[in-house]
Amino acid sequence: MFKIRSILAFCLILNSLVVVPAFSASKELKIMSYKVNSDRRVELFWDGNQYNKGFATDSHANWSFEKRLDRLMRHILAIKPDVALLQEMDPVSVQTMQRALELNEYTTLIQPYNLSNGAFQFIIAFNKDRFKLMSVMKRYFNSHPKSGTERPGNYEQLSAKEKEKFIEENLGEEFERSVQEVALEDKVTGQTILLFNNHFGLGRDYRLKSAELLTQFIKEFTKIVAGQKNSPIIIAGDFNAFPSDGGPEQIETLLKAGFKDLSKNAHFFDGKNEGTTASGTFCFYPYDFGIGKIPPQALKELISKIHTITNPEERRLLINTQVTNRSALGGKLDFILGTNSLKVKNSYVLLQPALEDIDFDLKKIGNETYDMYLKEFVKNMNALNIPAFPSDHFPLVTILDTNRNYEQAEL
């Protein structure tokens, strides 16, 4: 186990070297949405009975959460968001992240995606001096949103036929997702701010249904917590809004409900230079070929083959070769949305601090060469064995102007 205080001290030192946009704390509200993947392929993971090592644990050790934490905290501390909405933390690393955030003056709220063992977890972290916690709720994207799906202890041993009823209960997904709902009192503006932290599923139909349900959940939470008050609403997270697979339609559902894309005009930013309008928020780990549209049976056979290789270097070569032979996955999957009355000052898609030592051209990832350029970049990272990404998504930051009165959008 690593020494978290030493890492945090290192982060604070690094923070002093990072150049970020100038912020005026009292008149701004900085929101960060960050998909921080504690990936099961390179971490310990729960299989329903016990914790097991991921197949890339030793072949890509530098991509573990432990090795990425200093870069991750550097990103957060450099920006110092007033509110950070994090997604996809596993039950082990979420505790480490919670301690790291709380040591840096944040209050943290944690919520599992569902009731299954080993479920990923959300974190909402907020500046404890600026905000007061008012209310917390959760809703599930299933057929009974007020409660998660109960599964038997031997669920993993059930047959496909026996699992069908759970999949039907979860609107077509084996494991449902949820939304983390939090209300904060902003001591600067006197407003009650409503936050909705999301990570939509992968299935197209499920994502479209989740978008519809989310609008209902927002109405309900707003009525319960804010009543008739004109409270700003912020919706953030990884929406898996794949451009060619229903992504625009699911976001349109939220736009039609009276929200706007606060991160629409985000620019790439590397800590020193501002690049072109961001064309995406997603790149993949060097072993993230699992969602590279490999046929299920071929993927199963590939992973089985990887598990048979005992030499880490041989396994590393095989995994990296698989990535080299496949297209990079890009696209804007992460969003920060909010009520129409929210005024945006700036919005950024941040590149990881590791890139300051790498020749990375901001202009090249702002046009049609995005996927090709990211693929070449990942190949270089494979060769150098550098943990370039604190997660497989780029963090998204939106800076709002709070020096005005908010008016509630019609929901």
pLDDT of the residue at 2: 32
Phi and psi of 25, rounded to 5°? Answer: -55, -45
Smallest Cα–Cα separation from 273: which of 47, 78, 21, 75?
21
pLDDT of the residue at 353: 53
Radius of gyration of the chain (CA): 21
Judge: domain 4-401, CATH 3.50.50.60: no
Domain extent listing, the chain:
4-401
**CA–CA gap between residue 179 and residue 233 (Å, rounded):** 14
Q: Which residue has the tokens 């644990």?
A: 57
pLDDT of the residue at 391: 67
pLDDT of the residue at 11: 38
Residues of the chain short of pLDDT 50, as ranges, are 1-25, 407-411
pLDDT, tens digit, 9 for 90 and up, residues 280-330: 888 766 666 655 567 778 888 888 898 899 999 999 888 878 776 766 666
What are the residue ranges of helices labelled H in 146-264? 160-169, 204-225, 247-256
